[in-house]
Amino acid sequence: MSFKNTIALIFFCLSATYSFCQTYTVSGTVRDKDSGEKLTGANIYFQEDLKKGAASDINGKYSISSEQGTYTLVCTFIGYDTVVQQINLNKNLKADIRLKPLNNLMGGVEIKVTREDQNVRSPEVSSIEISMKRMEKIPVLFGEKDILKTIQLLPGIQAGGEGSNTFHVRGGGSDQNLILIDGATVYNPSHAAGFFSIFNSDIVNSAEVIKGGMAPEYGGRMSSVLNITTLDGDKEQFKGIVGIGLLSSRIQAEGPIQRDKSSFSFAARRTYADVVMKPFLKPNSPAKGLGTYFYDLNGKLSFQLSKKDNIFVTGYHGKDFFRYNANVYDSPFMDLNWMNTVGIIRWNHIFSKKLFLDVSANITDYQINVQGQEQLYKLQYSSGVRDYVGKADLTFTPDSLNKFKVGASYTYHIFTPTALSIKTGSTSLNANEQQKFYANDVSSYIQHDIQITPWLEVLYGLRYNHFSFVGPFKRYIIDNVYNLNNVDSIMYGRGDVIKSYNLWEPRINTRFQLSETQSVKASYTLNNQCLNLAALMDISTPTDIWLPSTDLLHPQRSHQFTVGYFQNFLDNTIETSVEVYYKKMLYLLEVNPDINPLSMFQTNLDYDFISGNGQSYGIELFANKTAGKFTGWVAYTLSWTTRNFDEIMDGKTFYARYDRRHDVSIMLNYELNKKWDFSVVWVFASGNAATIPNSYYIINGNLYIEYGEHNGWRMPDYHRLDLSANWNVFQRKMFSGILNFSIYNVYNRHNAFLVSYTISKNEENNKIEVHAYQVSLFPILPSVAFTLKFR
Amino acid sequence: MKYPIKILSCFLLIILITSCAQEVEIDTGDFVPRIVIEGYIENDEYPWVNITNNQEFFKDINLDFTSEEGIATLLNLFVMDAEVTVTDGTTIDTLEFMIVPEIFEGIYVWPPVKYQGSKIIGEVGKSYDMKVVHKDKVYTATTTITEPLIPDSVWVEYSLKNDKDCWIHVRIHDNPDEYNYYNCYSKRLGKDNYFTECLLCLWNDQFFNGLDFEATVYRGSSFTFAMDTIESNLSDIGQYAVGDTVILKVLTMDAASFNFWQSTEQSNNPHSNINGDALGVWCGYGVYYTDPIIISEKP
């Protein structure tokens, strides 16, 4: 059967599910008038019939079908003038829309002049689009704008720790978030051990976070999707940004390659903490030998081959360096670096007004390398994961009431969890052979978004995932965990299927429209996750190791139910929502806490996990003022997250480390005039669960700790106030300069990052004394950054 | 040889550089009292066992046993009324509670009191059962004395940065036909009162089975450091000094004993090899003492 016939057959089957009627379609692309950038999430609708509407997709495309007639087509988007245009829909029409920014040089002033009711009208529940213009106003650590820190201010999303950009969604682990850049997976979105994200804010075009109710097009992770798209580049004029901050500087440039046909976008960033810190360190400081910095590079090329074909090539490469060369004794050095590299090529093809094709291939690679030396010991260690991905998505919009999407993808995973080489003196030790895990990951999905009645819309679908753990692989047969050496093994050949999983994931989102400004949404999603992160510490570090589901590790699974009530006020300028969720998690994996990290390098890493279950439930309140001089949001989450592992507390239920009872985020922005705007952020979070000592005892003259109930203690509550101001210093035709002043932790609260203990002997009274110390990371931290924009 | 831990420690270092710490009070919940047993049998030595009680985490204890408070500590810390026996399958040795003689000479050693055997002398290759009865509860464990290891060579490496510091290295050959578990203690004659455990020397042969293996013997110190050394200087732990005369006590042990000691280096609770709800270890050691290593002037 030919490809065309196959497509035809698929859509014949799909079309049988709805009754066909004679309609015409208006479709096109929504772009920024100045930059030519595609705009995601713009609202396009007929004023005469508000139910005939659509939101522009990730490629800026929209499509609305309706009966023959004359309509007023309205297009609105945050921060842009509204476009209103009469159209005569007596045939299929193409209408590309160019929206004029209200103030593009100040970083955008959010004034919404017409209705914005996407939150009430879209069927997706627990999905939030982040405005880049809003992100630019949020005060941040060291003055670095950061999309990952911004989403931590949303309900249901918790920060992984002070200053960290790891995040936890509705009780899930940080590895349960699918983080995409232009459709490619990013395995470690962190620079500098989590204090910075790899996403340079200058190149982020849009960001959407989905906490639940994931449509079937998304898969592979249990808790959330963070979908980030980068700028295509201005097809009409050259422009750019130069940013100078206390710890980093950055440059961004974009412009046409061939006017209106092709464009480029490029950004680079480097930190200089290594240079800045040096003068402040004493000559004998143990930190004197410390050097750390990172850089990242982003590039994108966009080509319009024809009116129906576009090609995009995206590249990202970022690398962190960490060197410790102790000068205290004859000590040693340690070099550590880790890097993300992503390459994507994407082709969009428009078959017709109703049929879009998106085909892409990408490579994503994450590597960490360590070299160390101390006395006789020399060590080289590396770990990483590389994916080769091909995927295709087809969108069919037969009319304004129906939208179908089908897609398939194939991923070849290569995991190198541990490649270790140790030498002592002249002897090379028997660390395991470089151990790789290979997996084939085939996915397909179909989803249908149908407006059944004016008050009922359903987005439903099914995702299928065939995951195979394949050879070559050497499976060690161990007798018990303490006798690891001299073990037998089984060798699997290249491509041999060692274990495969067939995973079906039904998903459904429904929207009940109660009125023009009120809706109730409900969703159920089943998600499987075949990739696992072995975290060696409670805090996220780049040494965390990725590996796939294997014959020993069952894919993790979650069932999530969400019900939400959404209502807008004051002509949709205030959005509010209440969401209640329940998530059951099965086959959760944790590194066996009894395992000696060294033994992990001896046999197969997947021996060193324990499996259990968990659940999370809670309620999230969100109020968001999106227009006017005074904007901002208030988010509150009340939640519980628990776990059960047979190996921990004899299977009794315990709180997950990131179980957090109360979580409050307030973000307010006030635009005083065109020169100044001010923002304030206040966050409050109940303390995380932690395991603390209950007693100590003496053996062999040394003290050992006996820990109490697992995660049975609470860290102190966390709260913090941040302020920032943007001053538009000058604005010329070709240039504008903006100074950002930020103060992190304004009232200098010493929030607990961790609690440590010292057991010491007081020489004066011969007493053994035990003390607990709360370690806090960041005191009050003012920062200033200057951004020069030119065009 | 804890490189993964070292890597992670570097990250913690960054955190500590930029952080500040303040003392806090913590409610650790209800204290669960438990008995702590540590017992040893080495080749050519009688067995001995020390029994203590665990202590509330934030409760200070006074180790000045000449003071009133210290005596109260002594009575609270040490279990002196247990019945302790060790058997090799044929002979039963009932261990006697005693105060360690060095205490009377003003020399501090750990533990100051213990249950001492007098009938069974440890033999290589033999297994020994220990039984402790205390307050109607019975605690049992078994251990084996493994073949001692004689290092192929021991040598000294001098610091490049000064004329004082140096390190001791050993080279051993691992037996490929069996699982082997090692540790090393050291004692500086005239400086240390007893052998203390060296740092980073607890090894199994998973990485070097059947190979020659070279390791650095970092000088350690037990927690009660001010008492185990005559000259206490914590700043140079890890190294030895020119002028030191050092004896190494090279140990081999069985898997269960190794498992306990290894688990004390984890962040989780250590794995006792004692049956019954007791903390601690019953440990057999195959012991080899090196000849005194005299560290002469730097060449």
SS3 readout for A624-660: EECCCCEEEEEEEEEEEEEEEECCCHHHCCEECCCCC
Q: Which residues of A touch B179 (CB under 8 A)?
A: 483, 485-486
Residue of A170, A226, A176, A225 lying closest to A656 (CA atoms) = A170
Chain A residues closer than 8 Å to B165 by CB: 329-330
Q: Write down the pLDDT at residue A779.
A: 84
Instruction: Judge if A115 and A189 occupy the same domain.
Output: no
* Mean predicted lDDT score pLDDT of chain A: 83
* Cβ-proximal residues to A13 (8 Å cutoff; 6+ apart), any chain: none
Interface residue of B269, B279, B298 to substitute, partner A, most A CBs within 10 Å: B269
Based on the fold, state whether residues B199 and B76 are members of the same structural domain: no
Confidence of residue A542 (pLDDT cuts 50, 70, 90): low
**How far, in Å, CA of A147 to CA of A157, rounded?**
13
Peptide bond into A548 cis (omega under 30): no
Assess contact for A265 and A65: CB atoms under 8 A: no
A517 three-state secondary structure: coil
- B29, B211, B258 ranked by CB distance to A430: nearest: B211
Contact by Cβ (8 Å): A155, A636: yes
Cα separations in angstroms, A106 against A142, A336, A737, B50:
21, 40, 9, 74
Site of tokens 């892409």: A360
Res B226 pLDDT > 50: no
The maximal CA–CA distance of chain A, rounded, in angstroms, is 96
Q: Which residues contact A424 (CB under 8 A, 6 or more apart)?
A: A376, A377, A378, B1, B208, B213, B214, B215
Residues B199 and B244 grouped into a single domain: yes
**Residue A391 in tokens:** 């995927």
The DSSP H or E segment spanning A757 is strand A754-762
pLDDT-derived band at A141 (thresholds 50, 70, 90) equals low
Residue keyed to tokens 């303040």? B22
Using the 3D structure, point to which of B94, B116, B144 is the last residue of a domain. Answer: B144
Please determine, for residue B136, whether its predicted confidence score (pLDDT) is greater than 50.
yes
Give the confidence band of A281 by pLDDT, cuts at 50, 70, 90: low
Residue B71 CB coordination number (10 Å)? 13
- The two structure tokens encoding residue A183: 């459709």
Amino acid at B65: F
Which carries the bigger pLDDT value, residue A32 or residue A360? A360
For the whole model, what pTM was predicted?
A: 0.81
| Backbone CA torsion sign across A550, A551, A552, A553 | positive
Are the Cβ atoms of B10 and A336 closer than 8 angstroms? Answer: yes
* Winning range, highest mean pLDDT, from A89-103, A542-556, A599-613, A638-652: A638-652
Write out the H or E segment, with its range, that includes residue A147.
Answer: helix A147-151
Peptide bond into A472 cis (omega under 30): yes
Of residues A95, A113, A12, A38, the one with CA closest to residue A626: A113
Partner-chain contact B13 A698, CB within 8 Å: no
Which of the four pLDDT bands, split at 50, 70 and 90, describes residue A501?
Answer: very high
How is residue A539 annotated by DSSP?
A: S
Of A552 and A192, more confident: A552
What digits encode the pLDDT tens for the residues A226-266?
999 999 888 888 999 999 887 788 999 999 999 889 999 99
In whole angstroms, what separates CA A92 from the centre of its chain? 38
Residues A148 and A113 both lie in one domain: no
Give the residue carrying structure tokens 């015409």.
A24
DSSP A48-98: TEEEEEEE--TTSEEEEEE-SEEEEEEEE-TTB--EEEEEEESS-EE--EE
Q: What tokens were used for A521?
A: 């949404």
**Cross-chain Cβ contact B222/A379 below 8 Å:** no
Is residue A304 classed exposed, middle or buried when 0-12, 13-18 and 19+ CB atoms within 10 A define those classes?
middle
Is A284 strand, coil or helix? coil
* Residue of chain B whose alpha carbon sits nearest to that of A332: B6
Position B266 in a domain = no
Q: What is the DSSP letter of A687?
A: P
The pLDDT confidence band at residue A470, using thresholds 50, 70 and 90, is very high
Tell me the CA distances in angstroms from A409 to A230, A389, A445, B75, B224, one per residue in order.
21, 7, 9, 70, 62
C-alpha A408/C-alpha B92 separation (Å) is: 73
**Given an 8 Å threshold on Cβ–Cβ distance, is A707 in contact with B70?**
no
Distance from the Cα of residue A368 to its chain's centroid: 20
Cα of B79 to nearest chain A Cα, Å? 13
Of B3, B28, B161, the CB nearest to A379: B3
Same-domain check for residues A57 and A201 = no
Q: How many helices (H) and strands (E) does chain A have?
A: 5, 51
pLDDT for A479 equals: 64
pLDDT band at A278 (very low <50, low <70, confident <90, very high): low
Bridge-partner residues for A612, per DSSP?
A588, A645
Question: B21–A774: do the CB atoms touch at under 8 Å?
Answer: yes
Do B159 and B55 sit in the same domain of this protein? Answer: no
CA distance A31 to A232: 11
Helix/strand/coil percentages in chain A, nearest 5: 10, 60, 30
In a shared domain, residues A527 and A543: yes
- Do B290 and B169 sit in the same domain of this protein? yes
- Say whether A701 and B223 touch across the interface (CB within 8 A): yes
Tell me the CB-side half-sphere exposure of residue B72, using CA atoms within 13 A. 7
Report the pLDDT value the prediction gives residue A6, as an integer from 0 to 100: 44
**Record: contact A699-B36, CB cut-off 8 A:** yes
Q: Does residue B290 share a domain with residue B187?
A: yes
My answer on whether A72 and A219 are in the same domain is no
Q: Which of B2, B58, B196 sits opposite A770 (nearest CB)?
A: B58
Q: Which residues of B touch A757 (CB under 8 A)?
A: 57
A244 shares its domain with A284:
yes
Domain boundary among A71, A88, A121: A121
CATH number, position B216? 2.60.40.10
- Shortest distance between the Cα of B263 and any Cα of chain A, in A, equals 7
B11 within a domain of the structure (yes/no): no
Of residues A597, A698, A777, nearest to B15 (C-beta): A777
Q: Among residues B144, B172, B206, which one ends one of the domains?
A: B144
Query: What is the distance in angstroms between the Cα of A645 and the nearest Cα belonging to chain B?
Result: 15
What is the residue range of B161's domain?
A: 147-255+285-294
Q: State whether B21 and A537 contact (CB < 8 Å).
A: no
From chain A, the residues in CB contact with B64 under 8 A are 765-767
Structural domain count, chain B: 2
Chain A positions in Cβ-Cβ contact with residue B267 (cut-off 8 Å): 593
pLDDT for the residue numbered A131: 72
Q: CB-based contacts of A693: which residues, under 8 Å, 6+ apart? A: A705, A706, A707, A708, A757, B28, B57
The reply to whether B61 and B130 lie within a common domain is yes
Which DSSP symbol is given to B43? Answer: B
A693-699 and A497-515 as β-strands: parallel, antiparallel, unpaired? unpaired
Question: CB–CB of A485 and B209 under 8 A?
Answer: yes
Q: What is the 3-state secondary structure (H, E, C) of A605-622?
A: HHHHEEEEEEEEEEEEEE
Tell me, yes or no, whether B55 and B184 share the same domain.
no
Q: Which residues pair with A367 in a beta bridge?
A: A339, A384
Cα separation of B22 and A724, whole Å?
28
B179 and A483 within 8 Å at the Cβ level: the answer is: yes
Within a domain: B22: no
**Mean pLDDT lowest for which of A115-124, A224-233, A343-352, A476-485?**
A476-485
Of A238, A350, A255, the residue nearest A302 (C-alpha): A255
Domain count within chain A: 2
Minimal Cβ distance to B8: which of A425, A543, A761: A543
Which structure tokens are listed for A525?
A: 């999603």
Size of interface A-B (CB pairs under 8 A): 267
Are A187 and A257 members of one domain?
Answer: yes
Q: Which residues of B touch A486 (CB under 8 A)?
A: 179, 209
Cβ within 8 Å, pair B165-A287: no
Asked if B160's CB is within 8 angstroms of A330's CB, the reply is: yes
Q: Do A324 and B271 touch (CB under 8 A)?
A: no
Structure confidence at residue A425 (pLDDT): 72
Residue A438 has pLDDT above 90, yes or no: yes
| Residue with tokens 């370690």, as numbered in its chain | A775
Q: What is residue B299's DSSP assignment?
A: -
| Residue matched to tokens 């082997």 | B180
Domain boundary among B144, B159, B175: B144
Give the pLDDT score at A73: 86
Q: Give the domain-ending residue among A68, A86, A121.
A: A121
Nearest to B264 among A704, A765, A777 (CB): A704
Q: Looking at the structure, tell me whether residues A75 and A210 fall in a common domain.
A: no
B2 inside domain: no
The answer to whether residues A434 and A518 belong to one domain is yes
Do residue A353 and residue A378 come from a single domain? yes
| Predicted local distance difference test score (pLDDT) of residue A174 | 87
The total of other beta-carbon atoms located within 10 Å of residue A420's CB is: 23
Q: Which residues of B touch A290 (CB under 8 A)?
A: 13-14, 17
Whether residues B2 and A483 touch (CB distance < 8 A) is answered with: no
Query: Is residue B289 located within the same domain as residue B166?
Result: yes
CA distance A714 to A717: 8
- Does the pLDDT value for residue A19 go beyond 50? no
Q: Across-strand partners of A254?
A: A239, A265
A179: left (phi over 0), alpha (psi -120 to 50) or beta: beta
Q: What is the pLDDT of residues A190-218, one digit of tens each?
A: 887 677 888 888 888 888 999 988 999 99
Say which of A753, A757, A761 has its CB closest to residue B224. A761
Contacts of B169 in chain A (CB under 8 A): 375-376, 425
CB neighbours of A681 closer than 8 A, spacing ≥ 6? Answer: A138, A139, A153, A665, A666, A667, A668, A721, A722, A723
**pLDDT: which is higher, B251 or A691:** B251
pLDDT of B276 higher than 70? yes
List the domain range (segments joined by +) for residue A571. 127-790
CATH number of the structural domain spanning residue A723: 2.40.170.20
Same domain for B111 and B137?
yes
Q: Residues B117-131: pLDDT tens digits?
A: 999 999 999 999 999
Report if residue B12 sits inside a domain. no
**Are A18 and A131 in the same domain?**
no
Q: What is the pLDDT of residue A62?
A: 84
Cβ contact B13–A761 (<8 Å): no
CB-based contact A766 B52, cutoff 8 Å: no
Nearest residue to B129 (alpha-carbon basis) of B145, B149, B116: B145
Give kind and range of the element (H or E) at residue A681. strand A676-685
Across the interface, whether the CB atoms of B110 and A701 are under 8 A apart is answered yes
Shared-domain flag, residues B51 and B84 = yes
Q: Give CA–CA dist A392/A88, Å, rounded.
A: 34
Between chains, do B213 and A427 touch, taking CB under 8 Å as contact? Answer: yes
Q: Which of A121, A137, A160 is the last residue of a domain?
A: A121
Q: Are residues B185 and B106 in the same domain?
A: no
According to the model, what pLDDT value does residue A371 have? 83
For residue A764, is pLDDT > 50? yes
What pLDDT digit, counting tens, does each position of A632-651 carry? 999 999 999 999 999 888 89
Residues in chain B within 8 Å Cβ distance of A647: none
Compare all CA atoms of chain A with the CA of B27 and give the residue at the minimum distance: A713
Whether residues A678 and A743 share a domain: the answer is yes
CATH number for B115: 2.60.40
- Between residues B207 and B183, which one has the greater pLDDT? B183
Nearest to A694 among B1, B15, B31 (CB): B31
Query: Do B64 and B81 have their domain in common?
Result: yes
User: How confident is the model at residue A641, as a pLDDT?
Assistant: 96
